[in-house]
Amino acid sequence: MATLAPNPGSTQRYSRNRRSQLAIWWQEIDRTTLVLVLILMAIGAVAVAAGSPASAKRLSTSAETLRSLHFFYLHMRWQLLGLVALFWAASLTKENARRFGILLAGAMLFALVLVPVVGSEVNGARRWLRFGFSLQPSEFLKCGFPILLAWIVSWRTRDPQIPVVGICFGLMGVLGLLLMLQPDFGSTMLFGCAFMVLILLSGIDVKRIAMFVGGGVLGIVLMYFTYDNGRNRIDNFLFGGSAFDQVDLAQRTLLNGGWTGLGFWMGTRKMALPEAHTDYIFSVIGEEFGLLSCMVIVMVYIAILVRVILRLVEEEDLFTVLAASGFAAQFGAQAFINILVNLQLFPSKGMTLPLISYGGSSTVAMCLSMGLLLAVTRRNPFIQREKFTLRAIGDLP
């Protein structure tokens, strides 16, 4: 029986189409933000290698001794998976990114409903679902929440009578309740930051802003009197704790290296620091690579936020402005809360440093979030656009 030989022409056309699609993607993507994200991930690889020996020694037992670079090797695997998620999400069209974000947010909200019922408890918090692997729904909800809120608010452009602000407030209220049932006040704060930024950009009136701020203050007060761990952290921050508190140890570790640091693997205070590879990795960087290196990291975070803002100045699509701003708010809030905790300027919240700290689901989720940010901000650089203005929207119902 004769067999058909492959058509060389069709193979060449497919190859040309793929190159053409890649070239279009490269023109439309925000390459500056992509490079800055990759720089942070590279810094993270070095930082986790520096912090891994301290955490490995601390978590070793008589039955099992962890290798010095145990967490570094694991982090490399998670970073590889994160890079796949980053580039896959960034390759999506804006429409597909919106659909994926909405579906992901819906799935994670449903998962959050299940957490208080069938979730696993670790260190007094019930935040994980186990299906042969651990899943923290709140981490992946960060990938879809700004898109979901931006999509709801953008209904305003089709029908001004839809009470989009009321819907968003209701959604945020339900989310806050689900998170505090775990309890997870840190994530509640991050989602609240994204929500506040989106609502402000939507043209909401001052009275409703005051209502939201008042609700946030009331929530903090209720948390203080009902959440023992949160109350202890606030008390230690306001009134001072012992010399062995985590935040105090982190600050002393951070300052121990001076401006230029003690050198890679030369840090000593990090060995007494809990979570040296995650929550307090910024202090490890300060001890081993110096405060100048910490300043560089802060500038990279600021550069990403500024770049997103500059990207949106010439954007006329309401959904794009809101979704990208929500992602930037979550990313920036998490980064600077972590840094302020290490500087003893904010109560300890148990947040990782985005794209730098060791993490499993948090690393993948953050890469996915940045990929979706790049996807929703894709645009043809040769098309002239009208600038987005809040005046064109008016007050929302």
Stretch 308-337: mean pLDDT, rounded? 90
The lowest-confidence range among 60-69, 77-86, 107-116, 369-378 is 60-69
Stretch 96-112: mean pLDDT, rounded? 94
Stretch 259-286: mean pLDDT, rounded? 88
Looking at residue 244, its pLDDT comes to: 47
Q: What is the pTM of this model?
A: 0.86
In the predicted model, is pLDDT for residue 188 greater than 70?
A: yes
- Which of 120-124, 313-317, 385-389 ranks highest by mean pLDDT? 313-317
Looking at residue 242, its pLDDT comes to: 47
- Each domain of the chain, given as residue ranges in start order, spans 30-378
Q: What are the pLDDT digits (tens) for 111-161?
A: 898 888 777 776 666 777 877 677 888 899 999 999 999 999 888 877 778
Looking at residue 131, its pLDDT comes to: 72
In the predicted model, is pLDDT for residue 61 greater than 50?
A: yes
Q: What percent of the chain has pLDDT over 70?
A: 80
- Three-state SS string across the chain, please? CCCCCCCHHHHHHHHHHHHHHHHHHHHHCCHHHHHHHHHHHHHHHHHHHHHHHHHHHHHCCCCCCCCCCHHHHHHHHHHHHHHHHHHHHHCCCHHHHHHHHHHHHHHHHHHHHHHHHHCEEECCEEEEEECCCEECHHHHHHHHHHHHHHHHHHHHHCCCCCCHHHHHHHHHHHHHHHHHCCCCHHHHHHHHHHHHHHHHHCCCCHHHHHHHHHHHHHHHHHHHHHCHHHHHHHHHHHHCCCCCCHHHHHHHHHHHCCCCCCCCCCCCHHHHCCCCCCCCHHHHHHHHHCHHHHHHHHHHHHHHHHHHHHHHHCCCCHHHHHHHHHHHHHHHHHHHHHHHHHCCCCCCCCCCCCCCCCCCHHHHHHHHHHHHHHHHCCCCCCCCCCCCCHHHCCCCC
Looking at residue 6, its pLDDT comes to: 56
Q: What is the mean pLDDT of the chain?
A: 83
Looking at residue 243, its pLDDT comes to: 44
pLDDT-based confidence at residue 89 (cuts at 50, 70, 90): very high
Looking at residue 186, its pLDDT comes to: 83
Give the residue with greater pLDDT, 29 vs 212: 29
